[in-house]
């Protein structure tokens, strides 16, 4: 249309009292009035007042509330074509407005017929968006959601078929009571998918989806160098990459029902301590994926012994860990753990560094080690500070050698932090605030810091808080962030009268005064402070407050509706920032199916009650109602309050409909301000006044007895009372009475059900007869513990005075655990569930002598600790059961219950990363199952039913024998009965009842798991999937160290200081060792003239002493050389060549041929005897045994010397004679 062209509005021509009149829309007439045109139009045109009146009866916009109020069962299908003949606007306002008017009022509404119906009636494929019911439809997306098939838009005959398809689909849905958002097939004449009560077996499946609501207690928070924020509840971990605006759950095999309790980052690697004593994990992609770090240290990895609560990451291959005891025996730990990674072996070597003092104060029930590191503290070199609660603060130096320890502060110290480069240490305490320490001239100087003293209006506390966190501001060494924990955090004992606070404060060490201090109420157990990285603008992360520089952005974990808090103004203010942290504890779920909430899911939790009209896709905006906001007790259950009984409340002159019933009871304070009983609530008032602190004005208390469960029957609300009896509230007379005749005087009731039988109503109630552990701050699932009984009564509503409750189960006495659910079919068949797992079955509760019997269940392993709730789909013959631990959610076949044998429970937890399920609820059409969990909010499962017959079976391939420390590969194989592989089957693998992981079979039908063996014994493996289960056993032998020496029956091996004698084969076998020092004798005597000399180990090490990490069967061989002794005996001379020779060596022996003995004599070598016979003075000997050579000599005179001597004598005689003669 040309913007300068006039548009001529065409009227609707009608007949009024025989006269033709013209009708325009209200908007046209209103515009004409505003432009002063009404006086000039024809009298045949209806006036503005007549126009409004005319359209009031014809425009649905005036009547949406009346329609929903009068027909709460209404379901709506809205048609929308690409080419609309009634509305040419491109954003289809007639469709968008009408659709959303019904949707926001909680009505099931669908845009256009299901695609399967269109194709069924047209006999061809069509171009149309296959929209789910109750999807979001806006002016922006409507065009993409319309029917775009041009033949259906242009061909009037096909266009008419769309109307037929619409009517047919809605008729089929009503007939089948099937209101799932989308259909896979035309319902008329289509089978349910197999099974049913009387048919063959069903296989039930589907994938769970997390639907919220958000919130819940958070116990840990950390921010990475990439500004990713990671938070953890007690049972879940969450990650945010947009500054905590939105979150998603971290799903890893090792994080089922555990969260992180500590974290550190170094060189792009995150190391995290896993809660419940589950060891250490690491991530190399900024927290996206996590792998378990295998340490081989039992106390760190066995579970429920000690948590790794502090990590100092010196490098990717060197860590120091501090722990918190979870088990009383773990209080004996008096060390920190140093981890060094062995690159060659791919394993971590763990060293325990003992603190100098092992003693604990009397009565100490927990030890907690918190660590801080400085690469060069006060010139002392690398320094580690260790706070050991409740002993004191220690300092360790010489970290690359033998650690040197000094205790620097006595007392119940908690967290410790060090200001690198400033040589300042801050340490929190259990009840004495924070201490600031400086090391000056070899002495410590400490100052006690109380941040409350820096407030303009200091708070008054009964006692100082427990300081669980101290963080040094990255931009100011004199500014600290500090926090204290709530009771459930569990990092330190929680004292009576403890008030939780957290904040940030800046200290002037020169003037000894606070420069500023900001304190918040509530707990902030841990605080993560963000900082800029290279290349980033520091001003985005830094703030200046009154001239003091500090960090701008920080996060803290808190509780309930605070959950995760963020500050971006340096700690002056904090705001909630946890969209997508689905970590709430769900007390109970209710699915309402009666006007004014005909299709409403209610999540009841202490942090807030929430409503969803679309299976949890969205939660009612503004209705996040904490029970304490209306001074209500613990929220146990919810029911609809039908509008026909006229319950309303007037606030400030305006009337609000009361539409929701809240059932409340203990735990909670016993003071008179708390409202227990049945409370009527106006949801519209709550939404409109959400920010008000006086929401109680939108409620009316109807009864006062604490109640935890109830049912609507006609105009009666029948309630199970926590402290005894059954209360009946009449919505018409607005009066109530309590029936208790025949019920036990001790305890109360906890569950109710009824059955209409021939004009009478049979009521069944379960009791709780244990101690009142629900009182004050007591237990919120007390009735699981029991004991319980089932009682039946008739005439409760028609003759209350004559009503007597009669015990029907057990026949006498009580059950061992509590009865947590009762379900009764339209035919009077009853099924109840004990928390022990026993099913209670009665085929006909209305029979003159109803028979109740116990049916045992087989959950496989691991078995649950508690069974918590049950729902029954009587039409399909399926029983759903929830549990704490075990598999979390199961299904069983009702046919097996009726047969009387043990009932097999099948896991139903694909996609469900928690096994702590407190409650389940099934929609009336049996298509959706919802699970309320402990600290993981609500999960939804769109149920899928398939015939289980002939699908296939599982098998396990695993070694029959292995050793402790080995990592084995377990293959789970899915095959058809014909042996063909089945890909795409999700398989869960359990070892001794503990979930090891999940995987999906590949094209070969196999899923592989790596299993590290940590203890000896029989490892029982179980694989579970929709196909069934398979089991296998692996005999795990102790880790074996075999030292082979080749020296039989000799005490030549020393292991960890103990001397071992070798066996006949020359070996020593030791079992059960992990880290050890092994040495052998350097020389071993093997007989006369025989010895063995150590050469090297089989590892290449040439020293006789080595350290060994034993994994599986480890063989260490010592290589010895055999040597023989060569002895040479000689009476004369200096023979050479004697000594020790390697076996097979050739020795050369020599001796002088002759040896002078005197002037006249000499010894002359005449030959060798002994091992060698030879006359040669030099001989060779092959050393194949000990050898002995004897040199033989003869002694002879030297003739030439004798002759010369004689000649000399003769000459002398001649001379003498001559001289004598001359003298004469």
Q: How do residues 494-533 score in pLDDT, each as one tens digit?
A: 998 899 999 999 999 999 999 999 999 999 999 999 999 9
1073 and 940 belong to one structural domain: no
44 and 64 belong to one structural domain: no
269 and 225 belong to one structural domain: yes
Q: How many CB atoms lie within 10 A of CB 646?
A: 11
Spell out the residues 6+ positions from residue 1205 whose beta carbon is closer than 8 angstroms to its own: 1160
364 and 230 belong to one structural domain: yes
Spell out the residues 6+ positions from residue 719 whose beta carbon is closer than 8 angstroms to its own: 663, 678, 703, 705, 707, 709, 710, 726, 727, 728, 729, 752
975 and 994 belong to one structural domain: yes
Residues 409-424 have pLDDT tens digits of: 999 999 999 999 999 9
Pick from 1039, 1031, 1032, 1043: nearest CA to 1014: 1039
- Coil/strand/helix, residue 945: strand
Whether the predicted pLDDT of 371 surpasses 90: yes
Between strands 347-354 and 335-342, the pairing is antiparallel
Does residue 435 contact residue 429 with C-beta atoms inside 8 Å?
yes
Residues 1078-1104 have pLDDT tens digits of: 999 999 998 899 999 999 999 999 999
Separation of alpha carbons 1033 and 1012, rounded Å? 14
Q: Could you please report the per-residue DSSP string of 241-266?
A: SSTTSB-EE---GGGSS--EEEEEEE
1116 and 1019 belong to one structural domain: no
Separation of alpha carbons 976 and 999, rounded Å? 18
Band (pLDDT 50/70/90 cuts) for residue 1203 is low
Q: What is the mean pLDDT of the chain?
A: 90
Separation of alpha carbons 793 and 814, rounded Å? 18
pLDDT for the residue numbered 643: 94
Q: What is the mean pLDDT of residues 727-756?
A: 96
- Kindly state whether residue 341 falls inside one of the protein's structural domains: yes
pLDDT for the residue numbered 117: 87
In this prediction the pTM is 0.68
- Kindly state whether residue 427 falls inside one of the protein's structural domains: yes
Whether the predicted pLDDT of 300 surpasses 90: yes
Separation of alpha carbons 591 and 943, rounded Å? 16
pLDDT for the residue numbered 673: 75
What's the gap between Cα 426 and its chain centre?
A: 32
Going by the DSSP 8-state scheme, the letter that residue 471 receives in this structure is E
Question: Which domain-ending residue is among 1121, 1140, 1168?
Answer: 1121
**Residue 663 C-beta-side C-alpha neighbours within 13 Å:** 28
pLDDT for the residue numbered 193: 35
- Kindly state whether residue 651 falls inside one of the protein's structural domains: no
Separation of alpha carbons 28 and 8, rounded Å? 11
- Kindly state whether residue 1146 falls inside one of the protein's structural domains: no
pLDDT for the residue numbered 1080: 94
Whether the predicted pLDDT of 1215 surpasses 90: no
Q: What is the mean pLDDT of residues 854-881?
A: 94
Tokens of 1178: 């030099």
- Kindly state whether residue 1198 falls inside one of the protein's structural domains: no
pLDDT for the residue numbered 127: 72
- Kindly state whether residue 1069 falls inside one of the protein's structural domains: yes
Does residue 860 contact residue 1029 with C-beta atoms inside 8 Å?
yes
pLDDT for the residue numbered 348: 94
68 and 184 belong to one structural domain: yes
Is the link from the previous residue into 213 a cis peptide, with omega within 30 of 0? yes
CA dihedral for 545, 547, 548, 553, sign (positive or negative):
positive
Whether the predicted pLDDT of 1047 surpasses 70: yes
DSSP bridge pairs for 219: none
Band (pLDDT 50/70/90 cuts) for residue 670 is low
429-438, 604-613, 690-699, 1201-1210: segment of lowest average pLDDT: 1201-1210
Residues 156-197 have pLDDT tens digits of: 777 788 888 889 889 888 888 888 888 877 887 443 433 333
467 and 359 belong to one structural domain: yes
Separation of alpha carbons 995 and 997, rounded Å? 6
pLDDT for the residue numbered 153: 73
Q: Could you please report the per-residue DSSP string of 829-848?
A: -EEEEETTS-EEEES-TTSS
- Kindly state whether residue 360 falls inside one of the protein's structural domains: yes
Going by the DSSP 8-state scheme, the letter that residue 425 receives in this structure is E
pLDDT for the residue numbered 209: 94
Query: Measured between alpha carbons, how far is residue 71 from residues 76, 594, 598, 702, 1088 in Å?
Result: 11, 11, 10, 26, 110
Between strands 1006-1012 and 944-947, the pairing is unpaired
Band (pLDDT 50/70/90 cuts) for residue 61 is confident
Higher pLDDT, 983 or 353: 353
pLDDT for the residue numbered 1202: 57
Question: Which domain-ending residue is among 1097, 1121, 1145?
Answer: 1121
472 and 543 belong to one structural domain: yes
228 and 246 belong to one structural domain: yes
167 and 229 belong to one structural domain: no
Strands across the sheet with 889-893, in order?
864-873, 878-885, 889-893, 906-907
pLDDT for the residue numbered 1201: 62
User: What CATH number did the domain enclosing 1024 receive?
Assistant: 2.60.40.10
Band (pLDDT 50/70/90 cuts) for residue 198 is very low
Higher pLDDT, 181 or 467: 467
What's the farthest any 2 CA atoms get from each other in the chain? 210
Whether the predicted pLDDT of 786 surpasses 90: yes
pLDDT over 90 for what percent of the chain?
A: 64
User: What CATH number did the domain enclosing 465 receive?
Assistant: 2.130.10.10
If you count DSSP H runs as helices and E runs as strands, how many of each does the chain have, helices first? 12, 91
Query: Measured between alpha carbons, how far is residue 220 from residues 265, 274, 289 in Å?
Result: 15, 11, 18
Separation of alpha carbons 526 and 515, rounded Å? 23
Whether the predicted pLDDT of 200 surpasses 50: no
Tokens of 1173: 């016979």
Tokens of 508: 């002037």
Q: What is the mean pLDDT of residues 965-982?
A: 89
- Kindly state whether residue 1186 falls inside one of the protein's structural domains: no
Tokens of 180: 């799932």
Question: Which domain-ending residue is among 510, 543, 576?
Answer: 576
pLDDT over 70 for what percent of the chain?
A: 95
Tokens of 34: 């505003």
Whether the predicted pLDDT of 660 surpasses 50: yes
DSSP bridge pairs for 1023: 989, 1030
Question: Most confidently modeled of 499-508, 685-694, 1037-1046?
Answer: 499-508
Question: Most confidently modeled of 40-54, 135-149, 592-606, 831-845?
Answer: 831-845
Pick from 968, 972, 963: nearest CA to 1012: 968
Burial 676-701 (b: 16+ CB within 10 A, else e): bbbbbbbbebbbebeeeeebbbbbbb
Residues 1100-1149 have pLDDT tens digits of: 999 999 998 887 788 999 999 999 999 999 989 999 999 999 999 999 99
Domain count for the chain, please give it. 6
pLDDT for the residue numbered 567: 98
Separation of alpha carbons 1127 and 8, rounded Å? 133
Pick from 1117, 967, 1096, 976: nearest CA to 1044: 1117
Residue 805 zone, left/alpha/beta (φ > 0; ψ -120 to 50; rest): beta
Separation of alpha carbons 959 and 947, rounded Å? 34
Separation of alpha carbons 488 and 263, rounded Å? 20
Whether the predicted pLDDT of 488 surpasses 80: yes
Whether the predicted pLDDT of 1010 surpasses 60: yes
Pick from 263, 216, 222, 206: nearest CA to 236: 216
Question: Most confidently modeled of 206-220, 529-543, 672-686, 1020-1034?
Answer: 529-543
Question: Most confidently modeled of 50-59, 328-337, 898-907?
Answer: 328-337
Residue 158 structural domain: 59-190
403 and 287 belong to one structural domain: yes
267-271, 544-548, 1039-1043, 1200-1204: segment of lowest average pLDDT: 1200-1204
Residues 955-970 have pLDDT tens digits of: 999 999 988 878 899 9
Q: Could you please report the per-residue DSSP string of 546-612?
A: TTEEEES-EEEE--TTT-EEEESSTTS--EE--BT-B-----EEEEEEETTEEEEEEEE-TT-EEEE
Residue ranges of alpha helices (H) inside 155-284 are 156-176
Does residue 336 contact residue 386 with C-beta atoms inside 8 Å?
yes
The values of phi and psi at residue 242, to 5°, are -130, 40
pLDDT for the residue numbered 282: 96
């Amino acid at each position: 249309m040309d913007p300068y062209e006039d548009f001529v509005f065409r009227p609707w021509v009608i007949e009024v009292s025989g006269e033709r009149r013209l009708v325009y829309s209200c908007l046209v007439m209103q515009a004409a009035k505003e432009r002063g045109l009404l006086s000039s139009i024809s009298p045949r045109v209806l006036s503005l007042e007549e126009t409004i009146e005319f359209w009031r009866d014809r425009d649905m916009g005036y009547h949406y509330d009346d329609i929903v109020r009068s027909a709460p069962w209404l379901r709506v299908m809205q048609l929308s074509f690409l080419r609309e003949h009634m509305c040419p606007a491109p954003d289809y306002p007639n469709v968008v407005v009408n659709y959303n008017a019904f949707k926001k009022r909680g009505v099931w509404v669908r845009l256009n017929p299901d695609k399967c119906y269109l194709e069924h009636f047209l006999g061809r494929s069509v171009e149309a968006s296959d929209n789910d019911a109750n999807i979001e439809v806006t002016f922006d997306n409507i065009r993409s959601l319309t029917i775009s098939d041009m033949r259906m838009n242009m061909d009037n005959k096909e266009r008419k078929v769309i109307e037929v398809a619409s009517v047919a689909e809605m008729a089929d849905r009503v007939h089948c009571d099937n209101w799932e958002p989308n259909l896979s097939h035309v319902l008329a004449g289509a089978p349910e998918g197999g099974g049913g009560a009387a048919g063959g077996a069903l296989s039930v499946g589907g994938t769970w989806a997390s639907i919220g609501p958000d919130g819940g207690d958070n116990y840990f928070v950390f921010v990475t160098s990439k500004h990713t924020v990671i938070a953890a509840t007690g049972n879940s971990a969450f990650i945010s990459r947009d500054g905590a605006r939105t979150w998603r759950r971290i799903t890893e095999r090792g994080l089922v029902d555990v969260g992180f309790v500590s974290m550190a980052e170094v060189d792009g690697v995150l190391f995290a301590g896993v809660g419940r004593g589950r060891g250490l994990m690491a991530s190399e992609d900024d927290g996206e994926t996590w792998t378990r770090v295998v340490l081989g240290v039992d106390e760190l990895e066995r579970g429920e012994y000690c948590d790794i609560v502090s990590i100092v990451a010196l490098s990717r291959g060197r860590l120091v860990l501090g722990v918190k005891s979870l088990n009383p025996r773990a209080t004996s730990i008096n060390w920190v753990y140093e981890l060094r990674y062995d690159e060659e072996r791919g394993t971590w070597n763990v060293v325990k560094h003992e603190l100098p003092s092992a003693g604990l104060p009397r009565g100490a029930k927990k030890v907690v080690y918190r660590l801080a590191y400085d690469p060069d503290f006060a010139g002392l070199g690398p320094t580690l500070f260790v706070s050991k609660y409740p002993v004191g603060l220690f300092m360790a130096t010489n970290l690359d050698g033998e650690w040197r320890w000094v205790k620097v502060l006595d007392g119940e110290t908690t967290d410790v932090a060090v200001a690198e480069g400033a040589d300042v240490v801050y340490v929190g305490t259990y009840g004495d605030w924070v201490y600031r320490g400086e090391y000056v001239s070899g002495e410590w100087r400490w100052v006690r810091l109380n941040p409350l003293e820096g407030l303009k209006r200091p708070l008054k506390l009964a006692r100082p808080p427990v300081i669980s966190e101290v963080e040094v501001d990255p931009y100011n060494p004199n500014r600290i962030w500090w926090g204290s924990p709530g009771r459930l955090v569990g990092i330190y004992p929680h004292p009576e009268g403890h008030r939780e606070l957290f904040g940030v404060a800046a200290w002037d060490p020169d003037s000894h005064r606070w420069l500023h201090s900001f304190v918040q109420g509530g707990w902030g157990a841990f605080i993560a402070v963000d900082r800029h990285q290279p290349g980033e603008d520091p001003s985005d992360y830094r703030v200046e407050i009154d001239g003091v520089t500090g960090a701008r952005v920080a996060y803290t974990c808190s509780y309930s509706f605070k959950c995760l808090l963020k500050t971006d103004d340096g700690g002056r203010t904090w705001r909630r920032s946890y969209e997508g942290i689905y970590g709430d504890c769900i007390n109970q779920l209710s699915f309402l199916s009666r006007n004014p909430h005909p299709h409403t899911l209610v999540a009841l939790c202490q942090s807030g009650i929430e409503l969803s009209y679309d299976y949890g896709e969205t939660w009612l905006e503004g209705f996040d109602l904490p029970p304490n906001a209306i001074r209500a007790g613990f929220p146990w259950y919810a029911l609809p309050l039908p509008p026909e009984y006229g319950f309303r409340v007037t606030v400030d002159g305006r009337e609000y409909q009361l539409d929701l019933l809240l059932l409340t009871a203990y735990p909670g304070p016993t003071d008179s301000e708390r409202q227990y009983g049945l409370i009527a609530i106006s949801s519209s008032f709550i939404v409109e006044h959400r920010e008000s602190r006086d929401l109680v004005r939108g409620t009316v208390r109807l009864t006062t007895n604490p109640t935890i469960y109830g049912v609507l029957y006609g105009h009666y609300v029948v309630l199970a009372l926590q402290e005894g009896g059954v209360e009946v509230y009449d919505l018409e007379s607005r009066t109530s009475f309590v029936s208790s005749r025949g019920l036990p005087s001790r305890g109360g009731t906890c569950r109710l059900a009824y059955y209409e039988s021939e004009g009478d109503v049979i009521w069944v109630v379960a009791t709780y007869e244990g101690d009142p552990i629900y009182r004050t701050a007591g237990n919120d699932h007390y009735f699981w513990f029991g004991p319980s009984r089932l009682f039946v009564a008739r005439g409760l509503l028609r003759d209350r005075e004559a009503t007597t409750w009669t015990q029907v189960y057990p026949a006498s006495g009580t059950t061992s655990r509590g009865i947590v659910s009762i379900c009764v079919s339209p035919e009077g068949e009853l099924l109840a569930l004990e928390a022990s797992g026993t099913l209670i079955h009665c085929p006909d509760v209305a029979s003159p002598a109803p028979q109740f019997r116990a049916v045992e269940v087989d959950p496989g392993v691991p078995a649950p600790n508690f069974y918590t709730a049950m729902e029954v789909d009587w039409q399909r013959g399926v029983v759903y059961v929830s549990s704490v631990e075990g598999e979390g959610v199961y299904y069983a076949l009702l046919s097996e219950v009726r047969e009387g044998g043990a009932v097999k429970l099948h896991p139903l937890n694909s996609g469900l990363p928690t096994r702590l399920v407190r409650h389940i609820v099934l929609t009336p059409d049996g298509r959706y199952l919802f699970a309320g969990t402990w600290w993981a909010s609500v999960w939804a499962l769109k149920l899928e039913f398939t015939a289980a017959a002939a699908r296939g079976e599982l098998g396990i391939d695993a070694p029959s024998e292995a050793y402790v420390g080995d990592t084995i590969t377990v293959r789970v194989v899915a095959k058809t009965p014909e042996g063909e592989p089945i890909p795409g089957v999700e398989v869960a693998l359990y070892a001794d009842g503990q979930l090891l992981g999940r995987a999906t079979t590949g094209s070969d039908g196999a899923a592989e798991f790596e299993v590290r063996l940590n203890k000896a014994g029989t490892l029982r493996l179980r694989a579970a999937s929709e196909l069934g289960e398979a089991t296998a056993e692996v005999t795990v032998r102790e880790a074996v160290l075999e030292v082979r020496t080749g020296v039989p029956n000799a005490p030549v091996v020393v292991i960890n200081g103990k001397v071992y004698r070798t066996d006949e084969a020359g070996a020593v076998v030791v079992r059960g060792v992990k880290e050890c020092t092994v040495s052998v004798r350097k020389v071993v005597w093997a007989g006369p003239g025989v010895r063995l000399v150590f050469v090297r180990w089989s590892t290449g090490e040439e020293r006789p002493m080595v350290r060994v990490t034993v994994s599986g069967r480890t063989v260490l061989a010592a290589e010895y050389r055999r040597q023989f002794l060569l002895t040479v005996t000689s009476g004369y001379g200096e023979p050479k060549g004697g000594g020790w020779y390697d076996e097979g060596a050739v020795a050369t022996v020599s001796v002088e041929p002759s040896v002078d003995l005197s002037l006249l004599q000499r010894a002359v070598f005449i030959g060798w005897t002994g091992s060698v016979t030879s006359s040669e003075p030099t001989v060779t000997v092959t050393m194949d045994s000990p050898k002995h050579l004897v040199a033989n000599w003869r002694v002879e005179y030297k003739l030439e010397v004798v002759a010369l001597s004689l000649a000399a004598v003769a000459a002398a005689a001649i001379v003498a004679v001559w001289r004598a003669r001359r003298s004469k």
